[in-house]
Amino acid sequence: MPKITIKHFFTFFLLVTVIVSCRKTAPKVANAEVSETYVEDNYTKKEVDITMRDGINLHTTIYSPKDTSKEYPIIMQRTPYSSQPYGEGNFKTKIAPNIHMMQDGYIVVYQDVRGRWLSEGHYENMRAFNPDKKSEKDIDESSDTYDTIEWLVNNVENNNGNVGIWGISYPGFYSTYAVVDAHPALKAASPQASIADFFFDDFHHNGAYLLSYFRATSLFGTPRPDGDKPIDTAWYTLPDLPTEDQYQFFLDEGPLKNLDRFFEYETADTPRMAKEGVTDDYFWNELKEHPNYDEMWQSRGLIQHLKDVKPTVATMVVAGEFDAEDLYGPLETYKNIEKYNAENYNTLVFGPWDHGGWARRKGQNTVGNYYFGDGISEFFQEHIETKFFDHFLKGDGDKNSGLPEAYVFDTGRKDWKTYDTWPPAGVVKKDMYLSPGQELTAEPKGVEEVKFISDIKKPVPYSEDIKTVFTPRKYMTDDQRFAARRSDVLVFETEVMEEDMTLAGDILAKLKVATTGSAADWIVKIIDVHPADEPNYDGMQDHLKMSNYHLMVRSEVLRGRFRNSFANPEPFVPNEKTDVTIKLQDVFHTVKKGHKLQVQVQSTWFPLIDLNPQTYVDNIFEADEQDFKTQTHTVFTDSSIEFSVLE
């Protein structure tokens, strides 16, 4: 298989563009065109190895402005995805969180985290925080960040003593980590699409394994060669699926145990050392060996360590409302800092983006087939992100930053709103019922059983596209008509809305279900059904129309065995009515007058999540083909959806 370098993914491309004014979204954004050689022309580059308290050296790249007549703050990113390009004379074409900060003057630092690329040490996926460090050998990502900042402020010329940190996705995790036991010089942190817990972000959703992330596994679980020595080229390869039809591929492969062969890295020069039943990929082994929310996963979560974020660090959490990868992480990060550190400066930006979309510059802002407006990301970069870091790293650094507590985008009305709290004041909880006759009603209309057959040979697809992905993205706004027309997807829908209804906050699906089997997954989707006269957007896929478009506003899965505890799974009693409650992450979306609100309920979502055997086994990663059984599921019409409604 060919080598895949880090630049093929987890990067955010700078497109040189003249920004047009926003339609209903933001003020006009200035032209921000820069040359491909801007960084090389205006910065000097230095690569150093910074020694941590336990003697391990972390490879660090420092870009300093050539103008040495004044002092600059330091803005840094710690990453497992490489700080390349390496070598004297090799420059990034874009540095800093955005091009405005690149032009305004910052010392920009990138660091390979412990055990990755050119840094020494051993890498641990989501390394656990150690709150009880007793010696210099007791390290974690917090101590590595602290030691790095200590070296930078004392050794980098022309720095003003203030440090900020930012990152998207995994670098966002390291940004959150930095605020725990923070260095005194750290004044501002912006965790963006930040991972918080791998049992709820990326590779799992509420305990269900995201099979759609299968190809990303080797990126995190392939050991570095030559005794874990630093390396400046990619040492991992992505599984090469022999088809572009991932739905059919995974269906044909059958049980998850049949996928082990993709993570056996034996070569002629490197014979396999792993014992039978254990692959060479340590992350795949962890996924297999820890199917429940046990001590391993719990110890690696960051949320429980955000109770004592120092008030000297201002935080701005950024989340994409249609982020398929990390939506749980940033929302829970913001809410927990807010909950336990009420006096801290802590804000949320919640915009109409997919994973990391706010860091791109494309002019038109779309997610999949759905258009939200022009210049939205550019507005964020210039008027929100830059303003935040400038205030706390160059300015007074008090709480009067000029930014609101919550900068949030209404994805129905397609405009920005600002609030003093999130969720905003005035939100009330309203139940709507999955009523007989496929109705979604404000009041219950009697209890009936709605049954459907969940056929393991014909699981419900999560997308109608034929594709093979590294990680999923566009499905978050996909038209759901293809699913609504299946017999194994239940549909409940309001009448045409007579007035606007703004959803602002989380959603709780309170299902009452039964199954003929002893195991099942439950998926709930919240959908905005557009009117027949909705105009088309030119960038849509050719086969789609906005007329009657079923926009998926939010969706979530719960692996039914975890309905009472993620740590202690349990089977269903066949045919017994059972409560299953699913929390769906926050939305800010107005279902407008003339639209309809729809709820879909199903039990498979393939291959976004792996196929549930529908008979209880202790570990689905070890299930055999004979464990998979077609079952009949029931949803009772006293089930309800609790919406957070802004009045």
Same domain, 508 and 636: yes
Handedness of CA 108, 111, 117, 120 (dihedral sign): positive
Of the residues 272, 298, 324, which one is the last residue of a structural domain?
298
> What confidence tens digit (pLDDT) does each residue in 232-245 have?
999 999 999 999 99
pLDDT at 544: 95
In a domain, 455, yes or no: yes
Residues 169 and 214 occupy one common structural domain: no
Do the Cβ atoms of 493 and 438 come closer than 8 Å? yes
Give pLDDT, residue 20: 31
Instruction: Give the mean model confidence (pLDDT) for residues 415-420.
Output: 98
Q: DSSP code of 399? A: S
Shared domain check, 586 and 485? yes
Does the pLDDT at position 444 exceed 50?
yes
Of the candidates 353, 328, 345, the residue with the CA atom closest to the CA atom of residue 405: 345
Distance of CA 552 to the CA centre of its chain: 17
Instruction: Evaluate whether residue 187 is within a structural domain.
Output: yes
Give yes or no for residue 614 having a pLDDT over 80: yes
Tell me whether residue 557 is in a domain.
Answer: yes
- For residues 160 and 93, state if they share a domain: yes
d(CA 598, CA 555) in angstroms, rounded, equals 12
Which residues have a Cβ under 8 Å from the Cβ of 156 and sit 6 or more positions away? 62, 64, 74, 107
400 and 313 within one domain: yes
pLDDT tier, 275 (very low <50, low <70, confident <90, very high otherwise): low
The pLDDT score that the predictor gives to residue 245 is 96
- Work out the number of other CB atoms within 10 angstroms of the CB of residue 619: 14
- Same structural domain, 144 and 42: yes
Per-residue model confidence (pLDDT) at position 5 = 41
Q: What's the pTM?
A: 0.93
Out of 419, 452, 472, a domain closes at 419
pLDDT band at residue 6 using 50, 70 and 90 as cut-offs:
very low
Q: What integer best gives the mean pLDDT of the chain? A: 93
Candidate from 20-34, 171-185, 413-427 with smallest mean pLDDT: 20-34
Which of 298, 318, 339 lies at the terminal end of a domain, its last residue? 298
**Reduced to 3 states, what is the DSSP secondary structure of residue 589?**
strand
pLDDT of residue 34: 87
Do 310 and 248 share a structural domain? no
Q: What does the pLDDT look like over 540-588, one tens digit per residue? A: 999 999 999 999 999 999 999 999 999 999 999 999 999 999 999 999 9
- pLDDT band, very low/low/confident/very high, at 278 (cuts 50, 70, 90): confident
Q: Is residue 566 part of a domain?
A: yes
pLDDT confidence bin for 258, thresholds 50/70/90: very high
Three-state secondary structure call for residue 436: helix
Q: If we measure between CA atoms, which residue out of 401, 303, 390 comes closest to residue 344?
A: 401
* Amino acid 308: pLDDT: 84
CATH number, domain with residue 142:
3.40.50.1820
Question: Both 277 and 361 in a single domain?
Answer: no
Q: What tens digit of pLDDT does each residue of 471-493 get?
A: 999 999 999 999 999 999 999 99
d(CA 506, CA 588): 9
Whether 584 and 438 share a structural domain: yes
> b or e along 537-571 (b: 16 or more beta carbons within 10 Å of the residue's beta carbon)?
eeebeeebebeebbbbbbbbbbbbbbbeebeebee
- pLDDT band at residue 18 under the 50/70/90 scheme: very low
Give domain status of residue 632, yes or no. Answer: yes
Strand partners, 413: none
User: Is residue 395 domain-shared with residue 288, that is, in the same domain?
Assistant: no
Which of the four pLDDT bands, split at 50, 70 and 90, describes residue 16? very low
Per-residue pLDDT band at 28 (split at 50, 70, 90): very low
* Distance separating alpha carbons of residues 138 and 143, to the nearest angstrom: 9
Percent of the chain whose predicted confidence (pLDDT) is above 90: 91
Please name the residues in contact with 155: beta carbons below 8 A apart, sequence gap of 6 or more. Answer: none
Interval 113-146: pLDDT, tens: 999 999 999 999 999 999 999 999 999 999 999 9
pLDDT in tens, 57-90: 999 999 999 999 999 999 999 999 999 999 999 9
Q: Are 372 and 414 in contact (CB under 8 A)?
A: yes
Question: What CATH number does the domain containing 596 carry?
Answer: 2.60.120.260
Token pair recorded at residue 603:
């039990």
Question: What residues have CB less than 8 Å from 328, skipping those under 6 apart?
Answer: 196, 197, 200, 201, 205, 585
Cα atoms found within 13 Å of the Cα of residue 594, Cβ hemisphere only? 10
Answer whether residue 383 is part of any domain: yes
H/E stretch holding 50 reads: strand 43-51
Residue 290 covered by a domain: yes
Q: Are residues 601 and 582 in the same domain?
A: yes
pLDDT: which is higher, 65 or 276: 65
Separation of CA 147 from chain center: 28
User: Are 266 and 319 part of one and the same domain?
Assistant: no
- Output the pLDDT for position 23: 33
Of all residues in the chain, what percent carry a pLDDT higher than 70?
93
> What is the maximum span of the chain, computed from C-alpha positions, in angstroms?
76
What SS3 state is found at 353? coil
Q: What is the pLDDT of residue 548?
A: 98
Burial of 410 (0-12, 13-18, 19+ CB in 10 A): buried
Asked if pLDDT for residue 273 goes beyond 90, the answer is: no
Residue 165 lies in a domain: yes
With cut-offs at 50, 70 and 90, classify the pLDDT of residue 325.
Answer: very high
Residue 219 three-state SS: helix
What pLDDT shows up at residue 10? 37
| CA–CA–CA angle 219, 255, 580 (5° rounding) | 90
Q: Above 80 in pLDDT, residue 369? A: yes
Using CA atoms, how far residue 62 sits from 21, 39, 110, 239, 269, in Å, is: 35, 12, 7, 34, 37
pLDDT of residue 634 exceeding 70, the answer is yes
Asked if the model's pLDDT at residue 198 lies above 80, the reply is: yes
CB 248 within 8 A of CB 606: no
Query: Please, are residues 202 and 325 in contact by the beta-carbon 8 Å criterion?
Result: yes
d(CA 228, CA 595): 57
- Domain containing residue 463: 427-646
> Average pLDDT for residues 635-645, to the nearest whole number?
98
How many separate domains does the chain show? 3
